[in-house]
Amino acid sequence: MKRIPSWLTYTVLRLVVFVVPLIILLVIGIVWWAAVIAAALIGLCLSYILLSKPRNAVSSDLYAARHRDKPAPSADDEEDAAIDAAQSEAGHVPGGSSEGPEPDATRSDATRSDSTQSEVERGGTASGQKA
C-alpha cells in the first residue's frame, strides 16, 4: 500500500478544520460572510494547536526535497574550476592586464639605495647626472 503524501494529509485536515466550524455556524443561523470569517479564524487557531505533527512532516518533506544532493560535476566543470583557481592565485585577470604596482614601486628601499650608491660610485649623482 502506498503512503499518502504528508502535504495531502495536512491539506485535507486543514479543510476539515475549516469546513466543520463553517457548517456549525451556518446551521446556527449566522450570516454567511460572518460565518466564513469566523470559521477561518477558528480553523486557523485549531490547526495551529492540533495539527503541529502534520505541519512538521510537511516542512520536513519540503526541506528534504529542496536540499537533495546536487548532481556530481562533470570533468569539464572540475577542470574549469581548477583553471579559475590557478588564475586567481596568480593574480591574472582574464582579458585584461594585471593591475599591479609600477616596477619602481616594487623595489625595496634597500635595493634603491644600493643602485643609487653604485651610481654615485661610478661618477654620477643620485639623480643620474654627471657633475
Pairwise CA distance, residues 99 & 58, whole Å? 53
Which of 15, 17, 7 lies closest to 45 in space, CA to CA? 17
pLDDT of 109 higher than 60: no
Which of 45, 56, 35 lies closest to 14 in space, CA to CA? 45
* Residue 130, strand partner residues: 124
pLDDT of 99 higher than 60: no
Lowest mean pLDDT among 30-34, 41-45, 77-81, 119-123: 119-123
Pairwise CA distance, residues 20 & 98, whole Å? 72
Pairwise CA distance, residues 107 & 115, whole Å? 11
